[in-house]
Structures are given as structure tokens and as C-alpha cells.
């Protein structure tokens, strides 16, 4: 099992460019999440999905869009990148319910200049 994988690992964008981050999991998890992590701050939830075809906003959704067309994949899009979106992005997946741990991918380091 590969667990949770993310592509790409690194990316540099210019302000105003767009990109899509891909997350894939092979654990048949219903729930998937996108977080961003900035220095000195905890992981902050951007968007999440509780099943194929469903998405919802998290704590910091502005400037991002997501799609979950297949159960195993969760895509995060930046429509018009801004320097404030420079961060490390983590995808995670889990079974339903608060008693279940989340499995994280290795992260994508994004720099917007």
C-alpha cells in the first residue's frame, strides 16, 4: 500500500498563475482533507470531503477550490495564485468519525512569487 500520495512535491508559481495539486489514497477511506501548514502555525483545514462527489469548506477556503470525482482522489486547485498562498500543503484521509486517525501525505511545498 502506498497510503496517501501527493503530486507534485515542489512547485514555484508566479502571482496570478493557476495549478492543481493531486492527492490519491489507496486505503478506501471515505473522508479526505486538504490542509496548509505555515511556520509557527498549526495545520489549517482548507477543504474536506466526506465522500465521492461531495466537498465542504474548512477554516481557510478562500482562493482554493476542490473536487472529488473519484473516491480515491482529491484535487486542490488554485485559480489565481497569490504570495499569501506560499505554504506547505498536506492531504490526509481517514475513516468516518472522530475516533479515527488521519493519514497524511508527504506534502507539497508551494512558493508563489
Partner 1 sequence: SQKIEQNSEALNIQEGKTATLTCNYTNYSPAYLQWYRQDPGRGPVFLLLIRENEKEKRKERLKVTFDTTLKQSLFHITASQPADSATYLCAPSFSGGYNKLIFGAGTRLAVHP
Length of the chain: 113
**Binding string to partner 1 for residues 31 to 70, with x set by CB under 8 A, is what?**
x---x----xxxxxx--x-x-----x--------------
Report in angstroms the alpha-carbon separations of 72 from 40, 57, 68, 79.
Answer: 31, 19, 8, 23
Q: State the residue for C-alpha cell 498549526.
A: 42
Q: Which is nearer to partner 1, 85 or 108 (CB)?
A: 108
**Binding string to partner 1 for residues 79 to 98, with x set by CB under 8 A, is what?**
-----------x-x-xxxxx
Q: Which is nearer to partner 1, 77 or 107 (CB)?
A: 107
CA–CA distance, 5 with 25 (Å, rounded to integer): 6
Task: Specify the DSSP element, H or E, that contains 75.
Answer: strand 73-78
Q: State the residue for C-alpha cell 512558493.
A: 111
Q: Which is nearer to partner 1, 17 or 44 (CB)?
A: 44
Q: Give the residues lining the site for partner 1 (CB under 8 A).
A: 4, 31, 35, 40-45, 48, 50, 56, 90, 92, 94-107
Amino acid at each position: 500500500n502506498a497510503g496517501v500520495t501527493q503530486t507534485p512535491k515542489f512547485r514555484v508559481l508566479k502571482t496570478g498563475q493557476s495549478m492543481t495539486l493531486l492527492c490519491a489514497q489507496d486505503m478506501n477511506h471515505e473522508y479526505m482533507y486538504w490542509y496548509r501548514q505555515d511556520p509557527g502555525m498549526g495545520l489549517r483545514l482548507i477543504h474536506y470531503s466526506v465522500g465521492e462527489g461531495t466537498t465542504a469548506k474548512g477554516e481557510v477556503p478562500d482562493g482554493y477550490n476542490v473536487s472529488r470525482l473519484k473516491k480515491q482522489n482529491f484535487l486542490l486547485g488554485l485559480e489565481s495564485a497569490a504570495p499569501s498562498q506560499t505554504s506547505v500543503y498536506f492531504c490526509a484521509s481517514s475513516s468516518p468519525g472522530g475516533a479515527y486517525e488521519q493519514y497524511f501525505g508527504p506534502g507539497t511545498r508551494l512558493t508563489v512569487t
